[in-house]
Chain A
Amino acid sequence: MKKLCWKILLLPLFIYFIFFSYSLASATETSTETISANQWFNSQRINVFIILIVFFAFVLYFIQKAKRGGSLFVRRIAGLDAIEDAVGRATEMGKPILYISGIEDMDNLQTVASMIILGNVAEMVAAYDVPLIVPVCLPFVVTVAEESVKQGYAKAGRPEAYNRNNVRYLTSEQFAYAAGVNGIMLREKPAANFMFGSFYAESLLMAETGLSTGAIQVAGTANIHQLPFFVVACDFTLIGEELFAASAYLSREPKLLGSLKASDLAKFLIMVMLVFGVLLETFGITKFTYWFFVQ
């Protein structure tokens, strides 16, 4: 198996060197006439292609490892432990829980991560018998949110407790959505607000209103410009990649844990290559940096 993994890792490098040497050789020839044509492959993005193949090889390796029962340690993430506390608090207070999944569609990775977390939150909520309100901004996300919540309730063994009316489409307009969510926060007074996904200028409007109602707030986004608002207005904030790690942390599913471990290994390699690149740059060798440059 190890040999196979090494082959998977080395194959793209081998392909690249063949391709790179070919492109260097062809670059020396003088072109006379060029005719443009549709192409299936953008050779200027070969670096993205190779890095993705290497990353996917890592993911597949760690998924296999997780499936075989190998121990994959994930450190404690404080914000995620707070979710269960918040659900417990809502149960004690007899108040609902509000889950906001951001304002981007399902083609955004943050929304996908948010839907996985929603499934886990729904499972937790079903066990405690607390209403879970999910106001949604985009029509397609409504259907995915319904599925996630329904599956969460089914996993908890309480499919009959699922209330379809609690997954609500509000509007696709950003600030109208924020106004609608604020209205829900003020009138239904949820004990906990969870905000996971892709947020923009509406983030502070919602987080500030939630703060004023006294709800426990846990938020997470990878939109760097909105993180400061969540940091100041929420009790716990998942910063950037913690949002993607959350789904693996909560579910402990081999597939998700495998991708989390793979991203850790990729980060380690990035750090090593960064130090290496800095040294090369200092000695005036720029080819290494140029390889990672994306046009």
Chain B
Amino acid sequence: MGTEEIIWNGVAAFLVLCIYTFLYKDNPFYKFAEHLVVGVSAGYFAVILYYNGFVPKLITPLKQGQWVYIIPAILGMMMWTRFSKKWSWLSRFSLAFYIGSGTGFAIPLYMQNYVLRQFSSSMLPMGFSSWALFCNILIIVGVLSALVYFFFSKEHTGIFGGTAKIGIWTLMIGFGAGFGLTVMGRISLLAERVVFLREYLLELKYYLYLLFKYGLPL
């Protein structure tokens, strides 16, 4: 590891430790790291938006004579009218267009991915081996009772309430499994950071050894 890498990895290790100080309580080190990451990322995203959005999706098509792109450009500029009290109402057209088109795109996709795919996958036959039969019944009962839980037109009382309770239990079992899976993922992230800090300390130790022994930075 060269001098440059030692310095930059040192900055990274320092910032990692700054963030970990949050485990104790809010302190100036955490505040520094927090403000740095928020500021840097906000600036970074502004540049990303310019080069990945503004240039290829507006400037380049306009240069190629695709004048239809003037329409989104005007809608975009109308957003700037928010700075004027007199003209700020114009920005509502852009908002309406974006929310309307976004929702219009999203509804069929939701229906397709979150309803139809799951619905067709839940229609399982009941005639295989006893274990498969048990699993299929479990899935169907789970799906039906969870759907009952999400009924808002009827109070959860009596048999209906009992079924809804089975539904919430089904959901909670699913959440428990999901929680365990994600926690394991987070622990692997923690392990990766610990390995990074350990390797950096070893490299730093070796670098300082060479520096003091030979007086030459690598």
- State the A residues within 8 Å of B (CB): 45, 47-48, 51-52, 55, 72-77, 105-109, 112, 140, 143-144, 146-147, 169-173, 175-177, 179-180, 182-183, 186-187, 204, 224-225, 227-229, 231-232, 239-242, 245, 249, 260-261, 264, 267-268, 270-271, 273-275, 277-278, 280-282, 284, 288-290, 292-294
Q: Are B178 and A73 in contact (CB under 8 A)?
A: no
Which B residues from 1 to 57 make CB contacts under 8 A with A? 19, 22, 26, 31, 33-35, 37-42, 44-45
Q: Are A106 and B144 in contact (CB under 8 A)?
A: no
Q: A45-B112, A112-B102 known; 8 other A-B pairs, CB under 8 Å?
A: A48-B112, A73-B154, A105-B102, A186-B26, A204-B182, A245-B152, A249-B152, A267-B147
Q: Are B175 and A143 in contact (CB under 8 A)?
A: no
Which B residues from 121 to 180 make CB contacts under 8 A with A? 122-127, 140, 143-144, 147-148, 150-156, 171-172, 174-176, 178-179
Q: Are B95 and A144 in contact (CB under 8 A)?
A: yes
Q: Are A143 and B140 in contact (CB under 8 A)?
A: no
Secondary structure at chain B's binding surface: helix, strand, loop or mixed? helix
Q: Are A187 and B102 in contact (CB under 8 A)?
A: no
A111 to chain B, nearest CB (A): 9
- CB neighbours (8 Å) of B147 from chain A are 267, 270-271
- CB neighbours (8 Å) of A231 from chain B are 172, 175
- Minimal Cβ-Cβ distance residue in B for A266: B115
- State the B residues within 8 Å of A (CB): 19, 22, 26, 31, 33-35, 37-42, 44-45, 79, 82, 91-92, 95, 98-99, 101-103, 105-108, 110-113, 115-117, 119-120, 122-127, 140, 143-144, 147-148, 150-156, 171-172, 174-176, 178-179, 182, 186
Q: Are A294 and B117 in contact (CB under 8 A)?
A: yes
Given contact pairs A241-B150, A261-B153, A293-B120, A173 touches B140 in the complex (Cβ within 8 A):
no
**CA A229 – CA B151 in complex, angstroms?**
24
Q: Are A179 and B45 in contact (CB under 8 A)?
A: no
B204 to chain A, nearest CB (A): 26
**CA A183 – CA B40 in complex, angstroms?**
16
A148 to chain B, nearest CB (A): 11
Q: Are B38 and A171 in contact (CB under 8 A)?
A: yes
Given contact pairs A75-B153, A143-B91, A225-B182, A109 touches B106 in the complex (Cβ within 8 A):
yes
**CA A76 – CA B161 in complex, angstroms?**
13
Of the candidates A105, A106, A176, A290, the one having the most CB atoms from chain B within 10 angstroms of its own CB is A176
Pick the residue among B40, B44, B176 that contacts A228 (CB under 8 A): B176
**CA A177 – CA B42 in complex, angstroms?**
9
- CB neighbours (8 Å) of A277 from chain B are 123
- Minimal Cβ-Cβ distance residue in B for A183: B34
Given contact pairs A173-B41, A264-B153, A274 touches B143 in the complex (Cβ within 8 A):
yes
Q: Are A171 and B82 in contact (CB under 8 A)?
A: no
Pick the residue among A144, A180, A228, A271 that contacts B38 (CB under 8 A): A180
In order of increasing CB-CB distance, the 10 nearest A-B pairs are: A107-B102, A173-B41, A277-B123, A228-B179, A176-B41, A228-B175, A292-B120, A281-B125, A171-B42, A172-B45
- Minimal Cβ-Cβ distance residue in A for B151: A264
Given contact pairs A180-B38, A239-B171, A106 touches B112 in the complex (Cβ within 8 A):
no
A145 to chain B, nearest CB (A): 11
- CB neighbours (8 Å) of B152 from chain A are 74-75, 77, 245, 249, 260, 264
Q: Are B123 and A107 in contact (CB under 8 A)?
A: no
Given contact pairs A109-B103, A294-B116, A242 touches B108 in the complex (Cβ within 8 A):
no
- CB neighbours (8 Å) of B172 from chain A are 231
Q: Are B26 and A107 in contact (CB under 8 A)?
A: no
- CB neighbours (8 Å) of B42 from chain A are 169-173, 176
- CB neighbours (8 Å) of B140 from chain A are 274, 278
A224 to chain B, nearest CB (A): 7
**CA A177 – CA B125 in complex, angstroms?**
47
Q: Are A274 and B122 in contact (CB under 8 A)?
A: yes
Q: Are A267 and B154 in contact (CB under 8 A)?
A: no
Pick the residue among B38, B79, B110, B178 that contacts A227 (CB under 8 A): B178
- CB neighbours (8 Å) of A241 from chain B are 150
